[in-house]
Structure 1
Amino acid sequence: MTRTLASLFGPLQPMALAEDLAAPLLAMPIPEGAADPAAAARAPAAGPSTPDRFTVSRGLAVVPVRGILTPNMAQYERWFGWATYHGLAETLAHLAASEDAAAIVLEIDSPGGLVCGIEAAAEAIAAAAAVKPVHALVSPLAASAAYWLASQAAEIVMTPGAVAGSIGVALTAAAHVQPGANGAQIFEMSSRHARAKRPDASTEAGRAELQRSLDEAEAAFHAAVSA
């Protein structure tokens, strides 16, 4: 059975993702040999000046922001050229200080991604925009987390037919309501004072905790966009 990229995104991860627009990417098969540690070790390490992370021509730096966004999934960067928050933060800090880059363009084509780690990337974009022009080019998609990032640029420009927006955060949760296939009932427990460790989505208290975390992430999203 072919594993798809969707299998790598576990439950209870707050996502700022336009899931319908992300469906083709999530359905992509995991590349052959991707689970081979030796192959991963042979792959070149990414860094702030990695050529695939940006190009500079005549003083204009172009930074691709593509794919499903994650904090630091270097495999996605190697396999597909997708951006990571860690990579974006490194890249924007590097370009903000570089005399070779007079201005920066974020070339965005992404349905969004995980919430975890995005604030560091957003702050790095805002910090760069404070010292030199930073423009977001939506070509053709900047949804959810990708729009969160775009909103930190000095301006947003959209190609004809482009799509931007989808401000909000969501997650998928599950609870065991019957015995498993082997006949054993599954119980999940956490320590007494860790109310947010594994919230049970089948209970009112569990849903309230999950809703609290989503609302907290949404408030940060709103604050970043409005800033």
Structure 2
Amino acid sequence: MTRHYALEAIRAQPWAILPTHLGAIEAIADRALQAPVLDILRADGHAERYRACLSAVADTGKKMDGTNSVMLNRQGVATIPVMGPIFPRANMMTEFSGATSLSSLMADLQAANASPDVSQILMVFDSPGGATTDLSNAASQIAASSKPVTAFVPGQAASAAYWLASQCSAIWMADTALVGSIGVVMSGGKQVEPDANGVMGVDVVSSNAPNKRLDVTTEDGQAQIRTVLDDLEAVFFQAVASGRNTTVDAVKQNFGRGGMKAAKSAISSGMADGVSTLADTLARLGAASPPLKPAKAAPRRAAALADLQARRKLSEGHA
């Protein structure tokens, strides 16, 4: 795969991720392992932070049989890490910096819900976000969990990661943690001279599909792309508003406007619920039989159950 096509494959889909990490993903796919954006990430300490967080999660209990990464302690709390960039399925990127596969994550969540030994679920987030594919479905599964799910953020829960965290019953943060970056982005480029192989790329589209190959350097091209991004953003904002028991307008105005917020500011604006540590959060969950914030999670699960029952009755009526 040439550099041009490697980058186009990444840029062809929307992302809910921090810009620096998107640049790193492009560089990795392009195998440009000395790219400046990777030097920036190497220097920010995220790899060491991920390792420390995974080690801390590993210390919370014993590996739960039949799962990818669930740790279960004696108090019945199942801890699930959500680390690194988020992708729909495992791929070459999930081998870098402990990235998360949504399919594996949801399998672990289902296993925790099905286990009689689990009473509470704790999802530990340290992620810059990721691809939007399957993200809404994963968020819905967290919101509809049959067991209370709490989020703890020791590092950052950005964009796609915050989308998932917002569906938990409560969000607890380390005092230096960051949440936010709510929004959707696509990158793009235009080849202006022959590439390293001396081949100039040319796209020709059919007559009735002018938007199939947009020129991202023009206002019209950007407007067409922004329409798609705004549609995805609307789904993102609605999910966050529902998960955090607020309005879409409040999310737009108070949840960072695409930026990140540290713990104190995030809590005051309604994006999170309190400052804690992993140990203290586990202790509270282990001592609690009901969810920490049942008023928010229960109606969503009740609504999901009511919808399922209604569908079953409708099906029986047509049988």
Indicate the TM-score class for this superposition, using the shorter chain for normalisation. 0.7 to 0.9
- In the superposition, relative to structure 1, how do residues 201 and 55 fare at CA in structure 2: closer, same or farther (>3 Å)? same
Counterpart amino acid of residue 94 in structure 1: A
Give the alignment partner of residue 162 of structure 1, picking from 166, 177, 181: 177
Structure 2 match to 1:149: 164
In the TM superposition, 1:70-109 aligns within 5 A as 70-77=87-94, 80-109=97-126
Q: CA RMSD in A?
A: 3.1
The CA deviation string for residues 7-49 of structure 1, in whole angstroms up to 9 with x for no partner, is 797223211112347777887797xxxxxxxxxxxxxxxxx96
Contact 2:16 2:130 in 1 (8 A): yes
Structure 2 match to 1:202: 217
Equivalent-residue separation in structure 2 for 1:197 and 1:49 (angstroms): 46
Structure number with the higher helix fraction is 2
Structure 1 match to 2:49: none
Give the alignment partner of residue 121 of structure 1, picking from 130, 138, 146: 138
The two structures have a TM-score, normalised by structure 2, of 0.56
Counterpart amino acid of residue 200 in structure 1: D
Give the alignment partner of residue 171 of structure 1, picking from 179, 186, 195: 186
Structure 1 window deviating more from structure 2 (88-97 vs 103-112): it is: 88-97
% same residue:
37
Give the alignment partner of residue 112 of structure 1, picking from 129, 138, 152: 129
Contact 2:153 2:177 in 1 (8 A): yes
Contact 1:144 1:165 in 2 (8 A): yes
Deviation at 1:89, TM superposition (A): 2.0
Structure 1 match to 2:296: none
Q: Structure 2 unaligned runs (5+)?
A: 32-63, 243-319
Equivalent-residue separation in structure 2 for 1:164 and 1:136 (angstroms): 12
Structure 2 match to 1:213: 228
Equivalent-residue separation in structure 2 for 1:8 and 1:194 (angstroms): 18
Is 1:62 aligned to residue 79 of structure 2?
yes
Contact 1:25 1:67 in 2 (8 A): no
Contact 2:67 2:111 in 1 (8 A): no
- In the superposition, relative to structure 1, how do residues 26 and 107 fare at CA in structure 2: closer, same or farther (>3 Å)? farther
Counterpart amino acid of residue 122 in structure 2: V
The two structures have a TM-score, normalised by structure 1, of 0.76
Equivalent-residue separation in structure 1 for 2:113 and 2:204 (angstroms): 47
State the aligned residue count: 204
Is 1:53 aligned to residue 82 of structure 2?
no
Structure 2 match to 1:16: 16
Contact 1:49 1:94 in 2 (8 A): no
Over alpha carbons, which structure has the higher Rg?
A: 2
- In the superposition, relative to structure 1, how do residues 20 and 205 fare at CA in structure 2: closer, same or farther (>3 Å)? closer
Deviation at 1:199, TM superposition (A): 2.1
Q: Secondary structure at the match of 1:64?
A: strand
Equivalent-residue separation in structure 1 for 2:23 and 2:191 (angstroms): 26
